[in-house]
Structure formats: structure tokens, C-alpha cells
């Protein structure tokens, strides 16, 4: 044991004795951060143990940010300060706080495994200050704007019900595009949410001779499945369908049947609720641009597709739907999500209360005027 002076040696010995007495003695080894992260991402954090999309995100964090930034450190020598410096350097280099925060979550997850296996006594990532994220602003549409959106959607030649589902039920984009008819019971008026559409990933089918990116290769091959199971228990849920939405979905199913007839042998029957004219699942990127076109057609302010989900959540909270029910419909795992909507719902509730008060006590005010106010008498 090498230390600068006798007092540091004594301090280190006492620390080892405390670890021995508590049963937390670190396993000996020569792990560097780079070696551990490589082992973790290549042999531990891999599908099917985790979702393919999660694995892809972890790989980017490990090989693009973590190994170049802190990989040379001995695993047991890694400190919270090393991590905080990494996050600061990332943001100075132009990376967003969200990207740095994702890297923080990745390294924390990887080091938790090292702690469980005895290679670390404690996880420095749990002590490091995570990058501060600005709270996402909730900007839901109001009732008049929703009605304009639904009217514009109704004029679309295909898949108009897709937008009614988003605005009425608040499903995530992947959940809507991942819907299959087997999940929909129109007689009972229910919808089971249990999978999400994944963004397709492609590999060259030409041996990389076309000179294009894999996604534009004439012989491209999709390398990931169309859908993945919802990642949380809360995300798997059954939702009741409003009567108007049942009617829209019945009409949509009839329209899709005509598409199938027109496509003939080109139809690919995957059972998708919302599909292309030949039965293939909708591409999330195409769906995003259709949302932007819909906003323009309705003459509304620009907004993210996710704001349709915010709108549905806000409506439920304003209506006073019990929190457990709202959580079930929205697929929230924690009631903390509702706090992000509080600044929107509270003022609206207060305005509604004032309107109710004005209605209920209007007669009393009229009586106190003794009928002298002509305008009130006219009302």
C-alpha cells in the first residue's frame, strides 16, 4: 500500500478494516472503466435482457462519450468529480443537457452492476451531480383547437382516425402505430395497449456497393422488429373507447378493407390498425410529417406530436378524473408525472369554478338588484 505519508497510510488501513468488518471488501482486479463498460455493453446489457432500443442508446453513450472521456481510469479510482467533469466538458462541446443526463443514467446503470459483483464498494455516479434538465413545458391545445384538428383530420383521405386516437386517448406515437386489430374490441369498446412501433433500422443488402446510406439502399434489409413490448407494466393497459371513437374506427376498418381490395396481391396483412395503402406499418418519420401537415391544414400553431398526448392528459385532469384512473389511461408509472400539468390545470379549474359560481348565484344577485338592472332582466 503506497501513500504520501504515514497519516494517509493509517487512514487507508482503517478504511480497509471498516470494509472488512462490514463485509464490503472490494474484489481485487485490474478493471479499467473502459474494460468494464465494454464488458457490460457487450455481454451483460444485451437483448433480450433489455430492449434493443435501450441497448442502442447505451452503446452510443459508452463508445462515444464514456470510454473516450473516463475510460482510462481504474474502476475503483473513479470519483464523482471525474463524472461531473465529463458532463461539463460534454456541454461545453455543444452537447445538450439531455444528452449528458442520458450518459449519466447509462454509467450509473453500468456501475450498479459492478457494485453488485463486488468490484466497487459504492457507485460514484449516485454521488455525482447529474446535469440539470429544464422541465419540459406542457402546452396543450384548448377545446376549440382540438375541434379544428379533428375537423382537419376528418378531411384526410386515409387514416384520419389515427389523430382522433391521439387526441382522445393520449397514446404515444409508437403505441398508436403499433396497434393491431386484435388489440381492439369495438363491440366492448376497449383497446389493449401492449406494444409500440419501433423506428426501422436497416443494413445494406448490396454489400455497400450502392454508395448510399443503408436506409436508402435499393436492396436494404430491416434489422430490427417492427414492434417491441411496452417497457413498463404501467404501459401495458386496457383503455375504454368513447362511443364517437368506436364509430370512427368502424368506418376506418371499412376504408382499410377497400384498400386491401384495391391492393390485391400487393397487400401485406400484418393486422395493423393504421397502415399504408399496401398494408405495411406506418413509418414514424412519415407519421411525424403528416402531423405537421395536419397542423398547417387546421391553421394552428406549430407543436410537437407529443403535445397531443399532453392535451389528452390535461383534459382528463381538468375533468377531475381520479389520479389512479388518469395514470392507468396514460400509462404513467408514477403520479409525479401529473405534477408537470399542475400549472396548466389549476388556472383552468379556477376559471371553471368562477363560471359555475356566476351561474349558481346569478339569481340571488338579480333579486338583490330589485329588478332595477335592465341588462340583467334581459338575461
Tens-place pLDDT, residues 42-94:
999 998 888 877 888 999 999 999 999 999 999 999 999 999 999 999 999 99
Residue 279 domain-assigned?
Answer: yes
Statement to judge: residues 119 and 159 lie in one domain: no
Query: Which range, of 143-147, 336-340, 346-350, averages the lowest pLDDT?
Result: 346-350
Residue 346 domain-assigned?
Answer: no
Statement to judge: residues 183 and 277 lie in one domain: yes
Of 244, 274, 304, which closes a domain?
304
Of 127, 151, 176, which closes a domain?
127
- Between 329 and 377, where is the model more confident? 329
Structural domain total, the chain: 2
Statement to judge: residues 154 and 254 lie in one domain: yes
Statement to judge: residues 20 and 90 lie in one domain: yes
Query: Is pLDDT at 115 greater than 90 in this prediction?
Result: yes
Task: State the cell numbers at 212.
Answer: 448510399
pLDDT digits (tens, 9 = 90+) for 15-24: 656 655 554 4
Task: For residue 233, name the pLDDT band (cuts at 50, 70, 90).
Answer: low
Residue 101 domain-assigned?
Answer: yes
Query: Which range, of 69-73, 183-187, 305-309, averages the lowest pLDDT?
Result: 305-309
pTM: 0.65
Residue 147 domain-assigned?
Answer: yes
Query: Is pLDDT at 374 greater than 50 in this prediction?
Result: no
Residue 299 domain-assigned?
Answer: yes
- Between 26 and 365, where is the model more confident? 365
Statement to judge: residues 161 and 288 lie in one domain: yes
Query: Is pLDDT at 255 greater than 90 in this prediction?
Result: yes
Of 92, 127, 162, which closes a domain?
127
**Cβ atoms of 311 and 341 closer than 8 Å:** no
DSSP secondary structure string for all residues of 32-64:
BHHHHHHHIIIIIS-TTTS-HHHHHHHHHIIII
Statement to judge: residues 121 and 214 lie in one domain: no
What is the length of the chain? 379
Statement to judge: residues 159 and 289 lie in one domain: yes
Whole-number Å distance between alpha carbons of 117 and 245:
52
DSSP 3-state assignment of 129?
A: coil
Statement to judge: residues 167 and 298 lie in one domain: yes
Q: What is the CATH number of the domain that holds 39?
A: 1.10.150.130
Give the structural domain span for 102: 11-127
Strand partners for 180: 272
Amino acid at each position: 500500500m503506497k501513500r504520501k505519508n504515514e497519516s494517509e497510510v493509517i487512514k487507508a488501513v482503517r478504511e480497509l478494516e471498516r470494509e472488512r468488518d462490514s463485509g464490503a471488501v472490494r474484489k481485487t482486479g485490474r478493471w479499467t472503466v473502459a474494460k468494464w463498460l465494454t464488458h457490460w455493453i457487450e455481454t451483460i446489457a444485451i437483448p433480450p435482457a433489455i430492449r434493443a432500443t435501450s441497448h442502442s442508446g447505451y452503446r452510443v453513450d459508452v463508445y462515444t462519450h464514456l470510454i473516450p472521456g473516463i475510460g482510462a481510469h481504474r474502476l475503483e479510482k473513479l470519483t464523482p468529480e471525474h463524472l461531473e467533469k465529463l458532463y461539463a466538458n460534454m456541454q461545453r462541446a455543444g452537447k445538450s443537457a439531455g444528452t449528458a443526463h442520458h450518459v449519466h443514467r447509462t454509467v450509473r446503470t453500468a456501475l450498479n452492476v459492478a457494485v453488485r459483483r463486488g468490484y466497487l464498494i459504492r457507485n460514484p455516479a449516485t454521488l455525482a451531480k447529474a446535469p440539470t434538465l429544464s422541465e419540459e413545458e406542457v402546452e396543450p391545445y384548448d377545446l376549440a383547437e382540438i375541434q379544428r384538428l379533428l375537423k382537419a383530420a376528418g378531411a384526410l383521405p386515409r387514416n384520419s382516425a389515427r389523430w382522433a386516437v391521439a387526441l382522445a386517448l393520449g397514446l404515444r406515437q409508437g403505441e398508436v402505430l403499433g396497434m393491431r386489430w386484435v388489440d381492439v374490441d369495438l363491440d366492448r369498446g376497449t383497446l389493449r395497449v401492449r406494444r409500440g412501433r419501433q423506428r426501422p433500422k436497416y443494413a445494406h443488402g448490396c454489400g455497400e456497393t450502392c454508395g448510399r446510406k443503408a436506409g436508402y439502399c435499393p436492396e436494404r434489409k430491416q434489422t430490427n422488429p417492427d414492434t417491441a413490448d411496452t417497457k413498463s407494466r404501467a404501459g401495458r393497459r386496457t383503455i375504454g373507447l368513447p362511443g364517437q371513437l368506436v364509430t370512427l374506427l368502424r368506418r376506418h376498418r371499412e376504408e382499410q378493407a377497400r384498400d386491401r381490395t384495391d391492393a390485391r396481391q400487393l397487400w401485406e396483412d400484418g393486422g395493423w390498425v393504421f397502415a399504408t395503402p399496401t398494408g405495411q406499418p406506418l413509418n414514424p418519420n412519415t407519421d411525424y410529417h403528416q402531423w405537421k401537415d395536419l397542423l398547417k391544414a387546421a391553421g394552428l400553431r406549430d407543436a410537437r406530436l407529443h403535445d397531443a398526448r399532453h392535451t389528452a392528459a390535461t383534459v382528463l385532469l381538468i375533468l377531475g378524473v381520479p389520479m389512479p384512473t388518469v395514470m392507468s389511461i396514460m400509462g404513467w408509472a408514477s403520479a409525479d408525472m401529473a405534477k408537470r400539468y399542475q400549472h396548466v390545470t389549476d388556472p383552468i379549474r379556477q376559471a371553471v369554478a368562477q363560471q359555475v359560481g356566476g351561474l349558481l348565484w346569478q339569481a340571488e344577485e338579480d333579486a338583490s338588484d330589485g329588478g332595477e338592472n335592465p341588462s340583467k332582466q334581459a338575461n
